[in-house]
Chain A
């Protein structure tokens, strides 16, 4: 769907992006992950044809973006970091305007009703946009981006500034768009990318420093970064490790040593550290587990069979974050060494 070759963008003398080369297949949901100023927004602005590149080639659905920008724009829906909304219009009026502007085929009113329903903005369909909360403005922003049924959807920081409830709803909305559109979501928030995307492109200083699924990134980080771990002294790849936290209630006659032995006995577990389980009541223990493989299923089986009360088993939310930090740090280190 997207083919980018040696794309660069300079603002005056300053390089913002490039050289950038990647492809995105039809139907994929890809996350563009990077720190602020990494070049995510500039990349999306070029893909949306708001900006033209200094050099390089961009093709969307086989059409060159520089040669035929208007043709490509028909295939693209774009939500910038600040939704482009006219405050004096109602949601319905605005979407009707956007639909007509983008050359929506068929019954425009029907399509507007569909996107209002899809984005759950019906409650405020006839309200003026300048009276809406930030969350609803984002929804209307997404609605305008999809109203003409684009093949490619570009979302720049769609959950930026939303409250936790709105974040959950926005993630669900983005996931619901899967299949209908090829989607590129930019963010510097790792959990957002992890939750909604099939694949991640990590961007730093305008260049892709890593690409792949969360799993692939983790494994790639481990290739040249081994640490000795565990009582056997076996080496494990640091970033290839998985971290989960197990919270259990001990039986009347159970002790923490038995639990320790049980957890360490599960195949793949490299390290298990017991801590106090805060807020879970008496006789409960939390175990931070590091493993080389996904041991969650085996852990649940072992714990339940042994008669421990399983209260929670959570993946460490910092897992992808550590991979991301590792990736960006590696580049920094290399630069410093040079």
Chain B
């Protein structure tokens, strides 16, 4: 078994053995469910199109995903630092890249499981309304890409901080700035407006995924964001050795 899988497996076991994993999953699924009933399905008198209901459902799911990924990732490196176990990874014959990849993979596995558990909502719309499987698939692709980006930001915050609360605050602040970038863009003039709109984590980009539109530039944005923050995490760990 490669070291990446080994680290991911250990992280997953730690989730399962602590109440955090279950409490977080339950809270996120409950929140998404409430959103689905109250916001997406709307009041009984509403006559929203199935596609609109599905888009609003994914809006709720992405909100839960952002929160879940921030909470799961804040502990990944900071807790190891607090417990004194990071040194085991740092003095083993594996690279810092492998450590970061293993940690990232573990959150992605949990995220996929959470997504599967939330699939009853799109399934209900699919059975009772008129939406395509492709629309649902693209919606989840967007959710996973957004989750991966937030996780990479969370990992970076966790690597910078000495404890998980500080890690959460750092990564939360970065995510918040990226989420609110569209508001700044609104107050700006072109070409700065387009640039800032392009940096917004959720606003325009997720709207495409939610409505079933898969665009390469959106995918490239999230992949790039992941790459930049995962690389920054690796470099932060490497820099610690020179401290």
Contact = CB atoms under 8 A, between A and B. Distances in A.
B is a partner of A: yes
Interface of A: 11, 48-52, 70-71, 73-74, 76, 78, 80, 82-89, 97-98, 100-103, 144
B10 A71 contact: no
A101 B14 contact: no
Interface string B82-97: 0111111111111100
Given A52-B242, A84-B84, A86-B85, A102 B93 contact: yes
Given A51-B243, A84-B84, A73 B17 contact: no
Contacts of B91: 48-50, 73, 76, 78
6 contacts: A73-B91, A74-B93, A84-B88, A86-B85, A88-B18, A89-B10
Given A50-B241, A74-B93, A98 B14 contact: no
Interface string B1-32: 10100110010011001100000000000000
Given A73-B92, A84-B83, A101-B88, 12 more contacts: A11-B243, A50-B87, A50-B90, A50-B241, A52-B241, A70-B94, A84-B87, A85-B83, A100-B1, A101-B7, A103-B93, A144-B88
Contacts of B243: 11, 51
Contacts of A144: 88
Contacts of B85: 84-86
B6 A100 contact: yes
Given A70-B95, A97-B6, A101-B92, A88 B87 contact: no
A88 B80 CA distance: 13
Contacts of B84: 80, 82-84
B6 A101 contact: yes
Contact of A70 (B18, B87, B88, B93): B93
A113 B122 CA distance: 50
A71 B93 contact: yes
Given A51-B241, A101-B6, A88 B93 contact: no
A142 to B, nearest CB: 13
Residue among A71, A80, A100 with the highest chain B CB neighbour number at 10 A: A100
Contact of A87 (B7, B83, B93, B94): B83
Given A50-B241, A52-B241, A52-B242, A80 B87 contact: yes
B48 to A, nearest CB: 46
A84 B88 CA distance: 6
Interface of B: 1, 3, 6-7, 10, 13-14, 17-18, 83-95, 241-243
Contacts of B90: 49-50
A108 to B, nearest CB: 10
B208 to A, nearest CB: 41
A74 B92 CA distance: 7
Contacts of A82: 84
Contacts of B86: 84
A11 B90 CA distance: 19
A98 B6 CA distance: 10
Contacts of B7: 101
Nearest to B89: A101
A217 B104 CA distance: 52
A103 B95 CA distance: 13
A315 B241 CA distance: 44
B186 to A, nearest CB: 44
Contact of B92 (A11, A71, A102): A102
Contacts of B241: 49-52
A144 B89 CA distance: 12
A86 B87 contact: no
A73 B242 contact: no
Contact of A86 (B10, B95, B242): B10
A144 B13 CA distance: 19
Contacts of A51: 241-243
Nearest to B17: A88
Contacts of B6: 97, 100-101
A247 B6 CA distance: 60
Contacts of B92: 73, 98, 101-102
B14 A88 contact: yes
Contacts of A85: 83, 85
Contacts of A101: 3, 6-7, 88-89, 92, 94
A227 to B, nearest CB: 47
Contacts of B3: 100-101
A52 to B, nearest CB: 5
B14 A86 contact: yes
Contacts of B83: 84-87
A97 B88 CA distance: 11
Contacts of A89: 10, 13
A41 to B, nearest CB: 11
